Amino acid sequence: MNENSRRVVKQAKALSERFDAQLRLLHVVEYVPLTGTEDAMLTAPIPIAEELESQARAFVTQLADDFALAPGSISVVNGDLTTELETHIQRDKIDLVVIGNHCRSGLAALFNHAEDTVLHRCACDMLAVSLD
């Protein structure tokens, strides 16, 4: 079990209990096939995406069990993180997103990271849990 994920869920659960709020876990599987390999992998993307989603579902289910969250409180979807998050925020009327955040330096700071993208496009408040 990823310790960073546990830290984020622990913080989110503490907030939900303190403010008597509903907690939902969302995991977005962003499968991006390698470019230039389409001919070599004509049938591979679907099984790979399904396997990634299956692994993610098992991971999130275990995480929900470990923190005694209701089975209906988890969602695992394939797609773009920002798009799926925006959809869930609007549909479920979410008013706070809790996300893990890594401080980056050197070359890693030059590349776009999920939490940065979400932070700038999220339509609700966000809490970034430091993972460093």
Return the percentage of the chain with pLDDT > 90, whole number: 42
Residue 107 clears pLDDT 90, i.e. is over it = no
Cβ(69)–Cβ(97) below 8 Å: no
**Which of 24-38, 60-74, 115-129 shows the lowest per-residue confidence on average (mean pLDDT)?**
24-38
Helices and strands counted in the chain (H then E):
4, 4
Per-residue pLDDT reduced to its tens digit, 35-91: 555 555 554 456 787 888 999 999 999 999 999 998 789 999 988 888 899 999 999
Residue 113 clears pLDDT 70, i.e. is over it = no
Backbone angles phi, psi at 75, to 5 degrees: -140, 135
Give 120's pLDDT tier (boundaries 50, 70, 90): confident
Q: CATH code for 3-130?
A: 3.40.50.620
**Distance between CA atoms of 105 and 87, rounded to whole angstroms?**
31
Vertex 9 angle, CA 97 and 65, to 5° = 125
pTM: 0.77
What is the average pLDDT value for the chain, to the nearest integer? 81
Cβ(13)–Cβ(70) below 8 Å: no
User: If DSSP codes are grouped into helix, strand and coil, which group holds residue 76?
Assistant: strand
What are the domain boundaries of the chain? Answer: 3-130
